[in-house]
Amino acid sequence: MKVEAIELDLDWPNGLEIYHLRKFVLEEIQSYGYPLRWAITEVKETEQAVSFRKLIVEAVVIIP
């Protein structure tokens, strides 16, 4: 088992309401390991058709 710090750039889907954002972020982080701590550190606007917002997420995960 090891602990690793990661940074993710996630596209915030247009139809995703803010109260579903926590579940969305946790699902994305879990593909890297078990999330120990995480935070959204920045929200940027983009010009992409899929999403007009990008989330910068920093996390510490436990990798089995």
What's the total number of domains in the chain? 1
State the pLDDT at residue 17: 93
The whole-number average pLDDT for the span 1-17 is 94
CATH number at residue 55: 3.30.1660
E-strand ranges in the chain read: 2-12, 34-45, 53-63
Interval 35-58: pLDDT, tens: 999 999 999 988 766 668 899 999
Q: Which domain holds residue 41?
A: 2-63
